[in-house]
Structure 1
Amino acid sequence: MSTLTALARAQALAAGVAQPIATVRHLHLSQRPLVFVPLTMAGEANAPLAALVGTDPDHPKLLIVAQPRNRDQRFAFAAELASILVAYVDGHCGVSETVDGGRGKDPRQRYLDAPQILVPNPAGISFVRLFGRSTRFRRTDGDYPVHPSVPLLGRWLTFFAERAEHPGSSALLAMTEALTLHWATGQSAMEDQNLAALLGWLDPPPGLTGPQAAARAEDPATWPPAGPVTDPGFDNERLAPAIAAYQAALDDEGARLLAYAELERLLRDQLEPTWRLMWRGVAKLRELTPGARVEGRWVADRDAFTGYAEYVQSGESYPQPRRDGAVAAAQRLDRLERAQASYAAQRAYDDPLVMADHRLTGEAFAGVVTMAKPDRVDDTGKRPVLRPRIMVLAEDPVALAPGAAVYSPARSAQKATVVFVTPTDGSRTEVVLELSGGMGRSLTAPPGSVPEVGERVTYTTLNDTYRPGAALPTREETPWTHGGPPPEYTPSEQDAAEDWS
């Protein structure tokens, strides 16, 4: 937890209402997201029990598994979920645009939009990941075949789960994480995972404070858990008898229909409060203006979606393997690390509140330009180059050493190198910076490319420029220390084996 977030939590507790920790929205929010609220059977690893799913707040689709231990019913649930989710995904595969392939490559196509799935909490993302893994390897022929849509559902769920690991992606979002990215409550991070309590702090009912609303939200009779795990009291007192009644009525069609209707009612009552909370959360997020760099990150999601959709549509795609090989795992880790660094820089560039956190840690400083020499030329090399210098009277303690590279959100393409750091009286510091880049190739700086005297500036070590990937061996060159080149992957019967199968 950062210093400013800790302060905001203390202020929230004193004020009785959540406090903002962002001035803009740092994630993309689709005009038509798919909200998915799953429930699982207690004591059965990732066995689906029910789900509310849909894009219309007033007309959710209820899916249930009357007997979660029954394999056929579980995969019938998966097929019904596939009919909704895959259709939603396919609805984004219509209109595309032509974009530059870059680096001498041919132009390529990219869909104009991409699907977005919203779940209540990180446990919902875990359900998506595990349910995707347990369905994407299923066979549609041979012994125990499943509907052809089931493995396709699993592949798409795995795609969304993998995008959720990518910093800055908005393809699959947990509502609790999306809200706590922008507001701080007066309760613990663990308590923030209760969506009802979290929204109690953010938007308490009239006449109640945040703590009072959060305390009411802890009553599972009024606000059932947001899943995927159900409340033990509900399991023992209501769900177990209803499932037993359904099981006992299998030989009597009339009694079975009545028992099924009772199960539907019970499970709908458990899911609908969370469904309403999800759309309240969506409305709360829509109150914020998206950050300037959010659209660029959504473009990356659209690129990833387009690429995977084309791979699936080719008809030759295999389901993603259960485990990456050594090189693939290293490449994935490298991509995630670079994405995390870029995401941190972009959030700070978009939001002064986020940048303030980095100012407190010494990764950034802000101040006013007191001197500027925009026409300074460095002629010590083979040819003269434009190297303006400015002096900034920083309001923050500056712990950077001479030679450190810093960047300004206002001129992100320009690099500044720390030349001198001179503390003055009080807490202010004079920092001399030498500028390079973002000024063209001539020896005269274009107007506005060099900060002027009196201009307020911010500089940070965070950098959003392109970072090349690590130099890793190819798959065929996997060193013997990491098992050597892995065999060509082909799906097998063992891939589908799960503890809960």
Structure 2
Amino acid sequence: MSTMIDLTARLLAYQSGRAIPIRRSSALIADPSPTFAIVPIRMVAEQVVYALAYGDPEGEPEVVLTWNPLDRDASFMEPFAATLDRYLSDCVIAGEMPRIWLAHAAALEVIALLGHRYRTNRSVGPELQRMGAQCRLLAEETTFAGQQIVAIAGSLLASHVATGQSPSEDLHLGALLAWIDPPAGTVVADAAAQAALAPAAAMLDRAADDRVEQLRARVARGRLREPSARVEAEAIIREEALREWALLVRARRAFWGLGLTQGTELTKLTAESFKRVAWQIDRNYGNPARPRSLAQRLDELTYAKELTAYADVADDPINRAAALNAGRVLDAVVFQRDQPRRGFNPCTLTLETRQNALRIRPGTQLQLRGSRVFGRITEVREVNAGQATQLTLVVTNGVRNPQLPTPGQRTEWMEPEPADLRYQKRQVYERMAASADPRVFGDTLPLSRPQPIDDDLATIARRLRR
């Protein structure tokens, strides 16, 4: 979203006194059943875990905790590790996509920390090592655009609605929810400011944190018996975990309460997410470090980003309108269709548009939105004294498609769905690895040998457009 559109949306939200939607379609496919939610509570200074609340967000959570995480005893997390493993494994075996709900980015940081700390930790048992591998897998999945496995409530809400507060204030989930569901009889800005006083960052409230720290200090100085201090501290920590759990449940319901539509392209993003997670769920791979694995990871990230950008424009009318204003979508009427033999090539469409921004040139490939009709622009010319533009489009795929437009029909054309070339690229990487190409695997670059060019650059460019 552009800065101007974002500012305008925030002004409108401030004027109306509540958040306004900036999308009509959801970027997240509907929750599968069952769904799994995780609420971690951490000790801020040491970045160790106090507690984990987990389970079905529609029910009561299980809570595991320790009142003194500095003793490095992680066995309290074993019930969580077993439940997470069972949930993920059951989903993969059943061929169903898992869904993990987190409240905010701070919760994701804790999950990533668990992965980093326990995945290869030899001082813990295999259950916690497996938990570490799975937590790392979930954290890695969030780096892929359009992923459908890990739902971060705060990020999802902020990307689907605009509030009357600043983007930095939107980072507090409680303040964000105050704008989405304003309390009656209270100015929404005041309600958001009041909600922001309670932490929403996977940590204890200040008073609770001070009390737990005080209890540990008194036990260490011999002024209080450990059993009584433990009981009080664990009750405080449990209450704080349940407070964050309630915040996550409220945020999840607020997101689905927006009433957004489910676009058809979400199924492709879901399939991509499931393949990535299902393939690694029983493996404990490290980060890619070699040229081949790094190249494949870059290909995966690039394809996910391109597919998500395509889905956002294809599924959501607001995003599509923004792309149209930027000239990346063509809104045109079919002026003429030349197809000597119905259902066969050649087939040429003459399109006419009056939109101002037009980033289309001869050679541009376009896809009719919502169909498998593709074409290539061969000519762009102004008509009616420059008030309109006509484009000649040669249909390259879909001449028998019933959605092939007819004269007089208004159409929307966009960039085609990105081609999935990952398999072909992997074959190239395999051959490069087999040949140990010095340009990739060597320490120094070989001497360059300029190749003779028979044609000038203009001739080469014309040949590439054909």
TM-score, normalized by length of structure 2?
Answer: 0.84
Instruction: Quote the residue 2:397 is aligned against.
Output: 438
Aligned to 1:489: none
Whether 1:303 aligns to 2:275 is: yes
Residue identity in the other structure for 1:84: T
Task: Select the residue among 274, 293, 318 that pairs with 1:353.
Answer: 318
Partner-residue secondary structure (3-state), 2:413: strand
* Ranges in structure 2 where 5+ consecutive residues have no aligned partner: 444-466
User: What residue in structure 2 maps to residue 375 of structure 1?
Assistant: 339
Cα distance in 2 between the residues matched to 1:4 and 1:424? 32
Q: 2:348 aligns with which of 360, 368, 388?
A: 388
CA distance in 2, matches of 1:390, 1:293: 28
Q: Quick check: 2:103–2:153 contact (8 Å CA) kept in 1?
A: yes
Q: Percent identity, aligned pairs only?
A: 22
1:433-465 Cα offsets, whole Å, 9 max, x none, are 3132333xxxxx437343123322112235344
Instruction: Work out the CA distance in 2 between the residues paired with 1:196 and 1:176.
Output: 9
Structure 1 residue 343 displacement after superposition: 0.8
Closer/same/farther in 2, CA of residues 476 and 438 from structure 1, 3 Å limit: closer
Q: Counterpart in 1 of 2:451?
A: none
1:137 maps to which residue?
A: 120
The Cα shift of 1:271 comes to 2.7
CA distance in 2, matches of 1:264, 1:418: 71
Aligned with 2:295 (options 308, 330, 337): 330
**Equivalent position of 1:27 in the other structure:** 28
Residues 228-239 of structure 1 mapped to structure 2, 5 A cutoff: 228-232=202-206, 234-235=208-209, 237-239=210-212
CA distance in 1, matches of 2:442, 2:219: 53
CA distance, structure 1, for counterparts of residue 43 and residue 439 of structure 2: 42
SS at match of 2:211: helix
Q: Shift of the alpha carbon at 1:396? A: 4.1
Write the distance in 2 (CA, Å) between the matches of 1:120 and 1:321.
27
Structure 1 stretches of 5 or more lacking a match?
A: 96-110, 140-144, 378-383, 440-444, 486-501
Q: How many angstroms does 1:327 deviate by?
A: 2.3
More helix by share: 2
Task: Tell me if 1:119 matches 2:78.
Answer: no
1:152 matched to 2:130? The reply is: yes
Partner of 1:452: 406
Shift in Å at residue 411 of structure 1? 2.3
Mapped to 2, the partners of 1:433 and 1:242 lie a distance apart of 77
Residues 22 and 351 in structure 1, CA contact (< 8 A), matched pair in contact too:
yes
- Please report how far the alpha carbon of residue 54 of structure 1 lies from its aligned counterpart in structure 2 after TM superposition: 1.3
Would you say the 8 A contact 1:412–1:464 is kept in 2?
no
Q: CA deviation at 1:484?
A: 5.7
1:477–1:249 CA distance, 2 compared to 1 (3 A): farther
Residue 184 of structure 1 corresponds to 162
1:414 to 338, 359, 374: 374
- Name the counterpart of 1:264: 234
Residue 340 (str. 1) matches residue 305 (str. 2):
yes
How far apart, CA to CA, are the structure 1 residues paired with 2:213 and 2:99?
34
Are the equivalent residues in 1 in contact too, given 2:365–2:374 (CA < 8 A)? no
Structure 2 match to 1:107: none
- Aligned residue pairs: how many? 433
Q: Is this contact kept in 1: 2:65–2:77, CA < 8 A?
A: no
State the shift of 1:342 in Å: 1.1
Q: Distance in 2 between matches of 1:360 and 1:116?
A: 35
| 1-structure distance, mates of 2:377, 2:400 | 20
Deviation for aligned residue 1:480: 5.9
State the 1:18 CA deviation: 0.9
TM-score (structure 1 length as normaliser): 0.78
Secondary structure at the aligned position of 2:34 is classed as: coil
Distance change (3 Å), C-alpha of 1:244 and 1:115: farther
1:386 alignment partner, SS class? coil
Q: Counterpart of 1:199? A: 177
Query: Residue by residue, what CA displacement relative to the aligned partner does 1:350-376 show, whole Å, maximum 9, x if unpaired?
Result: 11111112122221232433x121415
Find the aligned partners of 1:477 and 1:192 in 2 and give their Cα distance. 52
The CA distance in 1 between the partners of 2:114 and 2:125, in whole Å, is 15
Distance in structure 2 (CA, Å) of the matches to 1:425 and 1:397: 17
Deviation at 1:119, TM superposition (A): 1.1
- Aligned pair in 2 of structure 1 residues 65, 11: CA closer, same or farther (>3 Å)? same
Distance 1:362 1:16 in 2: 33
Q: CA RMSD in A?
A: 2.8
Name the residue aligned to 2:261. 289
Does the CA contact (< 8 Å) of 2:373 and 2:403 recur in 1?
no
Is the alpha carbon distance of 1:265 and 1:460 closer, same or farther for their aligned partners in structure 2, counting shifts above 3 Å?
A: same
Q: Quick check: 2:263–2:315 contact (8 Å CA) kept in 1?
A: yes
